């Protein structure tokens, strides 16, 4: 009879801060104006959560925009505040992966996994997701830090990427997967701080527990 044995080690598909490149794509005002699959406030909040998580854990991050000066406007302030030193790559290509500068940056960073978030899901995320998968990368998509012109467009795009092998996740999941153990004291304060600021009702729970009982996660 075939048996399996449990051991205290993480699954191979879980992310850690050093095994992937995060690419934030076209979180810009003109793109957000037409986004209907997610509320603009929630979108900005989730993008800030992801960018803050990346900054806290030292994740290799690429920030890119499309036609920033001529049409789409600047990248969200929330992302620029979290990643003030990010060199934003402004493109003409709808598919980020077709810009040679992105390939150079991805290859220089050298990570086998790509994590994507941006606007719009059906164009600017599908393009690099399918392209990276085709070239042998593992791809993760932070669904609630993406958005599209309709809920149907976002849903169909997510389905298409998942069917091709991409792994969906959420912004809070991304943060907590990077932390993964509350005993990791060097990032404990920043993780709970980010969750408190951007983690919605979970963040409210952290505030309540700290204020009322001086409680803390996992200690």
Measured CA to CA, the distance from residue 148 to residue 134 in angstroms comes to 23
- Domains for the chain: give ranges and CATH numbers: 20-177 (3.40.50.850), 181-213 (no CATH)
Span 119-146, average pLDDT? 98
Q: Is the pLDDT of residue 218 over 80?
A: no
User: pLDDT (tens digit, 9 = 90+) per residue, 148-183?
Assistant: 999 999 999 999 999 999 999 999 999 999 999 999
User: What's residue 87's pLDDT?
Assistant: 94
User: What's residue 216's pLDDT?
Assistant: 73
pTM over 0.85: yes
Q: Are 180 and 14 in contact (CB under 8 A)?
A: yes
Span 58-71, average pLDDT? 92
Max CA pair span of the chain: 65
Measured CA to CA, the distance from residue 69 to residue 88 in angstroms comes to 12
DSSP assignment of 95-117 equals SGGGSHHHHHHHHHHT-SEEEEE
């Amino acid at each position: 009879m075939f048996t399996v044995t449990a051991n205290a080690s993480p699954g191979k598909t879980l992310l850690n801060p050093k095994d992937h490149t995060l690419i934030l794509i076209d979180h810009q005002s003109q793109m957000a104006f037409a986004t209907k699959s997610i509320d603009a406030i929630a979108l900005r909040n989730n993008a800030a959560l992801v960018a803050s998580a990346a900054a806290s854990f030292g994740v290799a991050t690429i920030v890119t925009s499309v036609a920033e000066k001529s049409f789409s406007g600047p990248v969200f302030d929330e992302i620029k505040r979290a990643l003030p030193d990010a060199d934003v790559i402004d493109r003409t290509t709808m598919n980020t992966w077709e810009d040679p500068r992105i390939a150079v940056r991805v290859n220089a960073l050298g990570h086998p996994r790509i994590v994507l978030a941006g606007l719009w899901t059906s164009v600017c995320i599908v393009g690099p997701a399918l392209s990276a998968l085709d070239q042998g990368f593992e791809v993760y998509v932070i669904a609630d830090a993406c958005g599209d012109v309709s809920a149907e467009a976002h849903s169909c795009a997510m389905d298409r990427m998942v069917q091709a092998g991409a792994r969906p996740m959420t912004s809070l999941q991304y943060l907590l997967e990077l932390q993964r153990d509350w005993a990791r004291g060097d990032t404990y304060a920043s993780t709970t701080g980010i969750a408190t600021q951007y983690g919605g009702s979970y963040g409210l729970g952290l505030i309540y527990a700290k204020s009322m009982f001086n409680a803390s996660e996992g200690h």
